């Protein structure tokens, strides 16, 4: 309950600071969407030249992309720690965070919420519904429940992976280029796994489980994709990734000694 | 100077090469699947496509720069005011800085990245030395045109207080219409026609097409001319923007 109250307080604060520059909000929304549109255009252009991609039709790919956008939007709304090392460790803002009673990671996440990103999730949902109706998929109540669980699982995977990577800044003070690297690997998760070679398949499934933020859970709702069983693992993988991330974070915070002088 | 600055961040450098390789990888595998059993699509064979992707991304590694971000930052924090009273041309200086960065990127990003890409993917480089020479020149022109577009976007900060959106929009448009993501010949007809009237194809599509041997010798001069014309044409808006900016400089928070 205490945490729920905090969320609303932080959001109110966010609204106050952002309303000064009203236009910025929409600029951010639109430019966020532009990146997604590029990927959609890629899908559409490609399917003008080929009926299927490794056995997937255009509508199926759009459906998968729609799913991909939902957890991604939620994740990027609540996770904006790309400058964590610089802001909190080098400048020592972590000291301020640690003196407060709420969990430190929770505070940092809320300080950096980015509500415009969540619009992407809605666009993703619309894409899923449109492509889904083209494909003749009807969602029963049970499917929707399953979908929600999958989305939570995928969001947890994102959180787990990026929390773990961000917490590296507690262990080493060199600026790491690993975050953008992993961010780019994430793009591999949108396409059917079978197009990659064995090494990438294993990497995407078991090491950096980005297969579970797009193609795998989405295939649960499509027919004959051979991943229906694997899709059910999404929440499990999510919980595992999240636990690893949070543990690395908590251990890392204990090592934090404050900045310099 | 810029060269040394970039050398200081070595970790970023290694991950930069890997990121470009990863990007080549995702498109390589996707295109392989798209071709499936088909021999050619939109005039590209599978082999040409692989080479095209690798060359285009690595060319991007060279010509890419953040001049737009830098210029608009200097405009917003007001340091551009000092540039006005200095006895040199601000835009030329920016261009040279960008070129310094470009040389760095060429030697340490594009070179090693290309070698890595050739090892990992079946890239076929042309054997004709003339093509290499022409490509090198076209790449230089790509850099100029891309930097000009960046400068134009950056200068809009004089007129729009927050041009973040403009800059992102520009980035998406350049990536999409320059042909890095999809070769232009894959677009529907009306988009191809539209692109013939836009400068973006001169950045990636034309040089990479030449390098993959898709342009017959007879048309080579025409392609070179397109780049030159765009370079000349783009000088005009830069001059106009710069002149107009002097008239109405107001510094935020100044």
Give the pLDDT confidence of B95-122 residue by residue, as tens digits: 888 888 888 888 888 888 888 888 888 8
Cβ contact, residue pair B15, A180, below 8 Å: yes
Cβ contact, residue pair B172, A37, below 8 Å: yes
Q: Are B22 and A185 in contact (CB under 8 A)?
A: yes
Degrees, nearest 5: CA angle A18-A21-A23? 115
Cβ contact, residue pair A38, B164, below 8 Å: no
The length of chain A is 261
Amino acid A247: pLDDT: 92
Cβ contact, residue pair A54, B176, below 8 Å: no
For residues B127 and B131, what is the distance between their CA atoms, to the nearest angstrom? 8
Amino acid A158: pLDDT: 92
Q: Which residues of A touch B35 (CB under 8 A)?
A: 50
Each residue of A179-225: pLDDT tens digit? 778 888 888 888 888 888 888 888 888 888 888 888 888 888 887 77
Report yes or no: A126 at the B interface, CB cutoff 8 Å: no
3-class DSSP state for residue A192? coil
Q: Select from A23, A48, A174 the Cβ nearest to the Cβ of B11.
A: A174
Report yes or no: B121 at the A interface, CB cutoff 8 Å: no
Amino acid A122: pLDDT: 92
Kindly write down the DSSP assignment for every residue of B151-220, as one continuous string: HHHHHGGGTSS--HHHHHHHHHHHHHHTTSSS-GGGS-HHHHHHHHTSGGGGTTHHHHHHHTT-S-HHHH
pLDDT tier at A157, thresholds 50, 70, 90: very high
Q: How would you class B129 by CB atoms within 10 Å of its CB: exposed for 0-12, middle for 13-18, buried for 19 or more?
A: exposed
Q: How would you class A1 by CB atoms within 10 Å of its CB: exposed for 0-12, middle for 13-18, buried for 19 or more?
A: exposed
Report yes or no: B253 at the A interface, CB cutoff 8 Å: no
Strand stretches in chain A, DSSP E: none
Residue of A nearest to B30 (CA): A195
A residues 156-195 lying closer than 8 A (beta carbon) to B: 174-178, 180-181, 184-185, 187-188, 191-192, 194-195
Q: Select from A35, A46, A49 the Cβ nearest to the Cβ of B172.
A: A35
Cβ contact, residue pair B172, A38, below 8 Å: yes
Cβ contact, residue pair B176, A38, below 8 Å: yes
Q: What is the mean pLDDT of residues A87-109?
A: 80
Report yes or no: B85 at the A interface, CB cutoff 8 Å: no
- Residue with token string 């600055």: B5
For residues A192 and A201, what is the distance between their CA atoms, to the nearest angstrom? 10
Average pLDDT, chain B: 82
Residue of A nearest to B35 (CA): A50
Residue of B nearest to A36 (CA): B172
Report yes or no: B33 at the A interface, CB cutoff 8 Å: yes
Q: Are A193 and A138 in contact (CB under 8 A)?
A: no
* Residue A160, CA distances (Å) to A245, A256, B100, B130, B242 in order: 4, 20, 39, 51, 48
Report yes or no: B218 at the A interface, CB cutoff 8 Å: no
> Number of residue pairs across A and B with CB atoms under 8 Å?
98
Residue of B nearest to A52 (CA): B34
pLDDT tier at A169, thresholds 50, 70, 90: confident
The two three-digit tokens of residue B233, written as one number: 């044409």
pLDDT at A258 over 80: no
Each residue of B193-232: pLDDT tens digit? 888 888 888 888 888 888 887 887 778 888 888 899 999 9
Q: Residues B171, B172, B178, B179: what is their CA dihedral angle, to the nearest 10 degrees?
A: 140
* Backbone torsions φ then ψ of A55, nearest 5 degrees: 90, 0
- Residue with token string 């060429």: B106
Residue of B nearest to A54 (CA): B33
The two three-digit tokens of residue A122, written as one number: 């809605």
For residues B38 and B21, what is the distance between their CA atoms, to the nearest angstrom? 25
Report yes or no: B14 at the A interface, CB cutoff 8 Å: yes
Cβ contact, residue pair B168, A45, below 8 Å: no
Q: Select from A48, A53, A184 the Cβ nearest to the Cβ of B33.
A: A53
- Contact partners, residue B29, CB within 8 Å, separation at least 6: A191, A195, A196, A197, A200
For residues A212 and A189, what is the distance between their CA atoms, to the nearest angstrom? 7
Cβ contact, residue pair A54, B36, below 8 Å: yes
Report yes or no: B192 at the A interface, CB cutoff 8 Å: no
Cβ contact, residue pair B162, A42, below 8 Å: no
Each residue of B49-86: pLDDT tens digit? 888 888 888 888 888 888 888 888 888 777 777 777 77
| Percentage of chain B modeled with pLDDT above 90 | 4
- Residue with token string 């045109």: B145
Cβ contact, residue pair A50, B38, below 8 Å: yes
pLDDT at A154 over 90: yes
Q: Select from B36, B169, B187 the Cβ nearest to the Cβ of A31.
A: B169
Q: What is the mean pLDDT of residues A170-186?
A: 74
Amino acid B254: pLDDT: 44
Q: Which residues of A touch B12 (CB under 8 A)?
A: 175, 177
Amino acid A74: pLDDT: 92
More confident: A214 or A177: A214
- Contact partners, residue A98, CB within 8 Å, separation at least 6: A104, A253, A256
Which of B152, B149, B148, B144 lies closest to B173, judged by CA?
Answer: B149
Report chain A's C-alpha Rg in angstroms. 20
Q: Select from A28, A31, A50 the Cβ nearest to the Cβ of B34.
A: A50
Q: What is the mean pLDDT of residues A135-158?
A: 88
Minimal Cα–Cα distance from B120 to chain A, Å?
12
For residues B86 and A192, what is the distance between their CA atoms, to the nearest angstrom? 56
Residue of A nearest to B185 (CA): A45
Task: Indicate the pairing of strand B44-45 with strand B40-41.
Answer: antiparallel
For residues A108 and A249, what is the distance between their CA atoms, to the nearest angstrom? 12
* Residue A7, CA distances (Å) to A95, A97, A234, B99 in order: 21, 15, 27, 47
Q: What is the mean pLDDT of residues B1-17?
A: 64
pLDDT at B6 over 70: no
Report yes or no: A34 at the B interface, CB cutoff 8 Å: yes
Orientation angle between helical segments B111-120 and B46-63, nearest 10 degrees: 160
Each residue of B132-176: pLDDT tens digit? 888 889 989 999 999 999 988 888 887 776 777 778 888 888 888
């Amino acid at each position: 309950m205490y945490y729920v109250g905090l969320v609303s307080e932080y959001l109110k604060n966010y609204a106050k600071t952002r309303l000064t520059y009203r236009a910025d909000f929409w600029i951010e929304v639109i430019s966020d969407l532009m990146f997604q549109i590029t990927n959609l255009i890629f899908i559409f252009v490609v399917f003008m030249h080929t009926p299927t991609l490794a056995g997937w039709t255009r509508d199926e790919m759009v459906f998968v992309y729609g799913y991909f956008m939902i957890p991604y939007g939620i994740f990027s709304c609540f996770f904006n720690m790309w400058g964590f090392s610089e802001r909190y460790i080098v400048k020592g803002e972590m000291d301020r965070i640690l003196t407060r009673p709420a969990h430190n990671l929770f505070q940092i996440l809320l300080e950096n919420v980015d509500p415009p990103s969540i619009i992407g999730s809605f666009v993703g949902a619309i894409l899923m519904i449109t492509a889904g109706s083209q494909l003749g998929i009807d969602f029963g109540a049970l499917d929707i429940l399953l979908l929600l669980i999958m989305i939570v699982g995928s969001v947890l995977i994102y959180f787990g992976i990026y929390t773990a990577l961000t917490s590296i800044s507690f262990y080493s003070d060199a600026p790491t280029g690993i975050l953008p690297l992993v961010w780019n690997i994430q793009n591999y998760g949108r396409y059917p796994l079978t197009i990659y070679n064995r090494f990438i398949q294993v990497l995407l499934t078991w090491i950096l489980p980005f297969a579970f933020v797009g193609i795998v859970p989405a295939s649960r709702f499509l027919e004959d994709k051979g991943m229906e069983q694997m899709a059910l693992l999404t929440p499990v993988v999510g919980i595992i990734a999240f636990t690893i991330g949070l543990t690395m974070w908590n251990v890392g915070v204990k090592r934090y000694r404050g900045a310099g002088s | 100077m810029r060269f040394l600055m970039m050398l200081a961040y070595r970790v970023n450098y290694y991950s930069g090469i890997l990121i470009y390789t990863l990007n080549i990888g995702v498109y390589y595998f996707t295109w392989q699947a798209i071709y499936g059993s088909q021999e050619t699509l939109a005039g590209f064979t599978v082999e040409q496509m692989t080479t095209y992707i690798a060359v285009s991304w690595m060319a991007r590694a060279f010509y890419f720069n953040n001049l737009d971000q830098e210029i608009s930052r200097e405009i917003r924090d007001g340091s551009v005011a000092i540039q006005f009273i200095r006895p040199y041309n601000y835009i030329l200086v920016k261009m040279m800085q960008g070129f310094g960065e470009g040389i760095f990127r060429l030697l340490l990003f594009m070179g090693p990245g290309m070698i890595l890409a050739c090892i990992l993917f079946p890239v076929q480089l042309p054997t004709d030395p003339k093509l290499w020479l022409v490509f090198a020149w076209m790449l230089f022109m790509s850099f100029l045109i891309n930097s000009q577009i960046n400068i134009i976007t950056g200068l809009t900060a004089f007129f729009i207080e927050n041009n973040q959106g403009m800059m992102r929009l520009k980035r998406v448009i350049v990536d999409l219409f320059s042909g890095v993501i999809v070769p232009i010949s894959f677009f529907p007809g009306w988009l191809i026609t539209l692109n013939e009237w836009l400068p973006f194809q001169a950045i990636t599509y034309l040089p990479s097409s030449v390098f993959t041997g898709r342009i017959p010798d007879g048309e080579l001069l025409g392609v070179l001319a397109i780049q030159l014309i765009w370079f000349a044409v783009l000088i005009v808006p830069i001059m106009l923007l710069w002149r107009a900016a002097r008239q109405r400089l107001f510094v935020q928070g100044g």
